[in-house]
Amino acid sequence: MVLAAVCGATQALFGANDSTSAEIQSSVGVWGCMLYEHLASDNEYVLMRFDPVGTTHFARLSGDEFRGWAPVSGWTARRNRLSFTDSRIGREFEADLRRSSLGGKWKTETSSGGWWCARLDNALADSQNVESVNAKDVMPPLIPHAASTPFYPLRAIRQAKKGHATICFLVESTGVIVEPEFIELSDEIFRETTLRAVLASSYRGWAGEPAARPGCRTFDFELDPIG
């Protein structure tokens, strides 16, 4: 009954024909997210909260603590697409709700990148003092245990093809990578080798919560000049 009430309220806000109840409900809650930017070496980590009434809040990571919940903008779900804007810096977010987890791409007037999330305990949404939460308990650091790199496909070498791929995934507490999804793929020729490399990699595990953490890896395929 509670689920039906939440979905009904959200559909009333955004329109019953935009997305199904399950699709809209799938994004409601608290998520631990990583954001990457093209041509940048550091990732950004943030808690995102999507409320049933259509509002979005961020709790940004500062050192080992999260800042308090700050309103960002409203969110909309239309035709399997979730969209919202970080009004603070004008960053526009979009996610395909048909993916295995929440995430997608973002852009501003001068930069772009992607984001990927893992669902967290919704009790965080009720915490008015999220800044008192130890960040390592919510988003423990991802430390590589075994990092595999993709081989250059022979067919791509013969065709002198260059390219890149960004693949995001969830890391379980055992360190195993699951549910990989391509966020960017310049050519299908690089799909299999990228996927194999990611699934052959692993991270150090952790004890307790959360059950999973988001991660992403980007690979650039470039041929050495001849001569």
Element (DSSP H or E) covering residue 83: strand 81-86
144-221 classified as CATH 3.30.460.80 = no
Residues of the chain with CATH 3.30.2420.10: 144-221
Dist CA 156 CA 159 (whole Å): 5
User: For the domain bounded by 2-138, which CATH number is listed?
Assistant: 2.40.128
pTM over 0.95: no
Residues of the chain with CATH 2.40.128: 2-138
In order along its 227 residues, the chain shows pLDDT tens digits of 222 222 333 333 333 335 555 555 678 889 999 999 998 888 999 999 999 889 999 998 887 888 888 999 999 988 889 999 998 899 999 999 999 999 999 999 999 999 999 998 756 655 567 777 778 888 888 999 999 999 999 999 999 999 999 999 999 999 999 999 999 999 999 999 999 999 999 999 998 888 899 999 999 999 987 65
Long-range contacts of 25-31 (CB under 8 A, 24+ apart): 26/97, 26/102, 27/75, 27/77, 27/82, 27/95, 27/97, 27/102, 28/52, 29/119, 29/120, 29/122, 29/125, 30/119, 30/120, 30/121, 30/122, 30/124, 30/125, 31/102, 31/117, 31/118, 31/119, 31/120
Sign, Cα dihedral of 204, 210, 212, 218: negative
Nearest in space to 44 (alpha carbons), one of 163, 170, 130, 135: 135
